[in-house]
A and B are shown apart, each in its own frame.
Chain A
């Protein structure tokens, strides 16, 4: 069964370092998302991406965050200068159709746990 895969499963980094989290969405999906979950808190929407550009982003997704689809398969989340409060589980998701309008189903990866020291 097709699935969304994420790497790394766990990354430990020093505050101020750049981090890139990678995702391989399901191959025929067109809409891509990043969510995060700080330990003990809600899963929060970060950004959605379609047709090689950001379609929506939340307040959390500030200038230190960026996303790109560098090739036909990978979808990456870059955190330019990590802060302690960026420590969280980051989930990538993809869908064939968007949530808006037709309520497409999101398929989530297993998550990448980021620990910032």
Chain B
């Protein structure tokens, strides 16, 4: 069965600093991997996704993530944090095998300090 682990329920960085949100997954089949962001009182919005091909994936708002099969990781990064990045971030893996749902991690709350 697929699973996703997000290390750190809360991550705090200073404005302008590097953002690193960690995600490790387990999957019995080659995974599709996703990062979603949830701003307060809003729905989940796709940041980026990995399906096949290039392992470094660029998303919206300056975020990117790198798929590392050997480490079963898909960490999310942004070189310079902005106050507007404060939100909840969810890593997810597709169920695979033709199934149609996503397995989400517990989420990481990103706090940006001025």
Partner-B contacts on A (CB < 8 A): 3-4, 31, 33, 35, 41-45, 48, 50, 55-56, 58, 91, 93, 98-103, 105-111
Contact = CB atoms under 8 A, between A and B. Distances in A.
B106 A110 contact: no
Contacts of A35: 102, 104
18 contacts: A33-B101, A42-B107, A43-B90, A43-B102, A45-B95, A48-B101, A50-B100, A56-B101, A91-B44, A99-B32, A100-B99, A100-B100, A103-B51, A103-B94, A106-B44, A107-B43, A109-B43, A110-B42
Contacts of B44: 43, 91, 93, 106, 108
Per DSSP, are chain B's interface residues mostly helix, strand or loop, or mixed? loop
Please classify how large the interface on chain B is, using the bins under 10, 10 to 19, 20 to 34, 35 or more: 20 to 34
Q: State the 5 A-B residue pairs at the shortest beta-carbon distance, nearest first.
A: A45-B101, A108-B43, A43-B104, A108-B44, A48-B100
Interface of B: 32, 36, 41-46, 49, 51, 90, 92, 94-107
Contacts, number: 71
